Amino acid sequence: MSAGKGTEKKISTPLSDSVIRGLAAGCRVLISGVVYTARDAAHKRMFEIAERGGEMPFDFAGQIVYYAGPSPTRPGAAIGSIGPTTSGRMDAYSPTLIRLGLKAMIGKGLRSDEVRRAITTHCGVYLVAVGGAGALISRSVKSASVIAFPELGTEAIRLLEVEDFPAIVAIDSSGNDIYRNAAP
Amino acid sequence: MMEIDASLVSVAVARLCVEANYDIAPDIAEAFKRARDAEDGGLARRVMDDLLENAAIASEGALPLCQDTGMAVVFVEIGQDVHVAGSLTDAINEGVRRGYEDGFLRKSVVSDPVARVNTKDNTPAVIHYDIVPGDSLSITVAPKGFGSENMSALSMLKPSDGLEGVKKFVVETVRKAGPNPCPPIVVGVGVGGTMDYACLLAKKALLRSVGSPNPDAFWDEAERDLLGRINALGIGPAGLGGHTTALAVFIAPYPTHIAGLPVAVNIGCHSTRHGTARL
């Protein structure tokens, strides 16, 4: 039984395949657990690691990557503003990472057919957060630490501990795409 | 001759960078409320509520509205009776450096477009100078996020394409952008001039206040028609469907060559930000 448009579901990481199959395009989710930030530069590096068969900066099993580069953290705060960046720029790298076990991605905007195919083949899910709501989203981040590529600054890979991080299922494991249904 | 010390320019630019990124403009906040009320419900209304809450959190918590605090685009109108003591360009970049560092704003600029090494202080800014009559200096800082910048486009239309050709290109550019530029968007359109100048007109058009009419009745009517056509696309807030895809369309026309009809579309996200200081 999958949850679709208008419904809301709490999920925790790591994500099992059965939880992923229960998420339908249009469903709102509140994520608790861990998500890893990675955007353009970190994706390029992970792709290069994949090409030479190296070890990834973190174990992909059941994990979520968040396409985000936060603004600097004020003293005493967990994180700065941290909304999603445009996912399409990661399309060149995502199918390879999904093939290597990455389960879920959070971003904003359209994905390529190749990414959608990789999601359906490997039981993945593409989630979107509200673009430009970086201050609001920062409230659901409880802690952040850089775990790889610190020299990339905002583009480093960060482990975020999140509680009720709000997102919407945009492409579900069956390949349904909310953007294709939204526009007439 | 009015003498202005360059250090005053740095102070003003730093302040404008911070204010533009923390505080939603009143015209945008009003447009958000109208958009929320215009939506039937569901995800569209929810997204507009989220954006209003986001603006409140940003302002109270001294957090940027969006983590993409942009590349600093600076428009300078310098009175021809003004003399700036020191380098004006250096002073503007120093202001950007300080504003982005002291204001906890993200440094998003890379030194070379292919080598891509972060300059770590968000400089250099993109600066446009205009010489105007008078003895004052006006500085506008418009931090530009790239989710929307990347969805912008230019077309060198034929004169025979006319107004309908212009409109079709604008609507098509917005349709192709879909959810990517963080709708509801602000659409800046430059029509005429040369290839480069059409782009500058489009960028400058984004500085207008949402709700302000075009001073030219012909172009005002074109703006209204385009806003209707764009909102009929159904892309909606965050691209999740709805009535509000754009908050405003601003068109800036300029004389052009007998052989051409350049049209530039610069898309601004819902965090279209700018602030002005006069020295």
pLDDT of residue A1: 40
Tell me how far CA of residue B160 lies from CA of A178, B27, B63, B155, B173, in angstroms: 39, 36, 49, 14, 20
Nearest alpha carbon to residue B236 among B1, B40, B59: B40
d(CA B227, CA B10): 38
Domain boundaries, chain A: 8-176
Token duo for residue B221:
């009517």
pLDDT of residue A4: 64
Q: Is the ipTM of this complex over 0.85?
A: yes
Is A58:A14 a contact under the CB 8 Å cutoff? no
Contact map slice: B 70-89 vs A, CB within 8 A: none
Nearest to A183 among B147, B150, B234 (CB): B234
Q: Which of A136, A171, A178, A181 to mutate to test the interface with B (most CBs of B within 10 A)?
A: A136
Domain boundaries, chain B: 2-20+65-144, 147-275
Is B58:B22 a contact under the CB 8 Å cutoff? yes
**CA distance to partner chain B, nearest, from residue A16 (Å):** 26
**CA distance to partner chain B, nearest, from residue A52 (Å):** 22
Q: Is the pLDDT of residue B198 over 50?
A: yes
| Bond preceding residue B124 cis, omega within 30 of 0 | yes
Q: What is the three-class DSSP state of B247?
A: strand
d(CA A26, CA A3): 8
Confidence band for B40, pLDDT divided at 50, 70 and 90: confident
Question: Which chain B residues touch A85 with a CB distance below 8 Å?
Answer: 68, 147
Enclosing H/E stretch for B85: strand B82-85
Assigned CATH class of A8-176? alpha beta
Question: Which chain B residues touch A28 with a CB distance below 8 Å?
Answer: 43
Q: Give A25's DSSP letter.
A: T
Question: Which chain B residues touch A181 with a CB distance below 8 Å?
Answer: 241
Is A171:A27 a contact under the CB 8 Å cutoff? no
B107 and A154: CB-CB below 8 Å? yes
pLDDT tens-digit profile of B115-124? 999 999 999 9
Share of chain B above pLDDT 70, in %: 100
Nearest to B57 among A88, A109, A136 (CB): A136
**CA distance to partner chain A, nearest, from residue B241 (Å):** 5
pLDDT of residue B172: 98
B173 — phi, psi (to 5°)? -65, -40
pLDDT of residue A181: 66
| Average pLDDT per 10 consecutive residues for chain A, totaling 184 residues | 71 97 96 98 97 96 97 96 98 97 97 97 98 97 98 96 97 94 48
Share of chain B above pLDDT 90, in %: 97
CATH 3.30.360 corresponds to the domain B2-20+65-144: yes
Non-local CB neighbours of B180 within 8 Å, separated by 6+ positions: A86, A88, A108, A109, A110, B147, B148, B150, B151, B239
Q: What's the one-letter identity of residue A143?
A: S
Residue B97 touches chain A, beta carbons under 8 Å:
no
Question: Which chain B residues touch A168 with a CB distance below 8 Å?
Answer: 43, 240
d(CA A7, CA A25): 10
Nearest alpha carbon to residue B201 among B160, B236, B166, B238: B166
d(CA B144, CA B270): 11
The bridge status of strand B261-268 relative to strand B185-193 is antiparallel
d(CA B144, CA B125): 10
Question: Which chain B residues touch A71 with a CB distance below 8 Å?
Answer: 63-64, 67, 69, 104-106
pLDDT of residue B41: 78
Confidence band for B61, pLDDT divided at 50, 70 and 90: confident
Q: Which of B32, B57, B60, B63 to mutate to test the interface with A (most CBs of A within 10 A)?
A: B63
pLDDT tens-digit profile of B142-194? 999 999 999 999 999 999 999 999 999 999 999 999 999 999 999 999 999 99
Q: What is the three-class DSSP state of A78?
A: coil
Residue B20 touches chain A, beta carbons under 8 Å:
no
Q: Which of A7, A43, A71, A73 to mutate to test the interface with B (most CBs of B within 10 A)?
A: A71
From start to end of A13-138, where are the E strands? Answer: 28-37, 64-66, 104-107, 125-128
